[in-house]
Structure 1
């Protein structure tokens, strides 16, 4: 099976397509000065873009991992998530509190999606 890498950098690719599966790297906000809701909205937009580049969309997300710098912001993040995630096509999901790569980041999201048949 071939492997296709999207937005390849020196340390990682933003997405990797292998077979019919798309793996997204953890995404953080381009503007880390935003609130948790603002960062989440930015990240979800980035995910939409990466999935489209890979040839799929959010209705085909299989699994998502979300890391919050402060679990007390769970409801704030979920407000954006619930508005974005397609009802009836919600993925398996885990959310946890973690120290992120830099203190200004409040949210990081990674997901795995399927390509259309």
Structure 2
């Protein structure tokens, strides 16, 4: 079975496709880094949409999601954006954990796995 890597660099690939499964790296905000959890989550989900499209799938095929947030007090704020975005009736298995991310400007990081 072949492995397709999309947006690969020396350290990691943004997307890896193996068979009918699509794995995304953890996604953080680019333009809204340092801004609110709402804005960062919106940007991240938009990036995820783009990566899934490049891999030939979409959010209705999500299997699992791990969401990393720096402060559990922002959980409702992040969830409001997530709930408006996620495909109704196609919600993935999901975990949300509080962590310290790579840089203080990041409040949210999201990693997903999807079927093709």
Q: CA deviation at 1:9?
A: 1.1
> Unmatched 5+ residue regions in structure 1?
none
Q: What's the TM-score, normalizing by structure 1?
A: 0.97
Matches within 5 A, 1:90-109: 90-109=91-110
SS across alignment from 1:112 = strand
Q: CA deviation at 1:102?
A: 0.5
Q: What's the TM-score, normalizing by structure 2?
A: 0.98
Q: CA deviation at 1:43?
A: 0.2
Asked whether the 8 Å contact 2:65–2:113 carries over to 1, the reply is yes
Q: CA deviation at 1:34?
A: 1.8
Matches within 5 A, 1:55-70: 55-70=56-71
Q: CA deviation at 1:3?
A: 0.2
SS across alignment from 2:43 = helix
Query: Which residue number corresponds to residue 5 of structure 1?
Result: 5
Q: CA deviation at 1:74?
A: 0.1
Query: Which residue number corresponds to residue 34 of structure 1?
Result: 35
Q: CA deviation at 1:33?
A: 2.3
Alignment size in residue pairs: 115
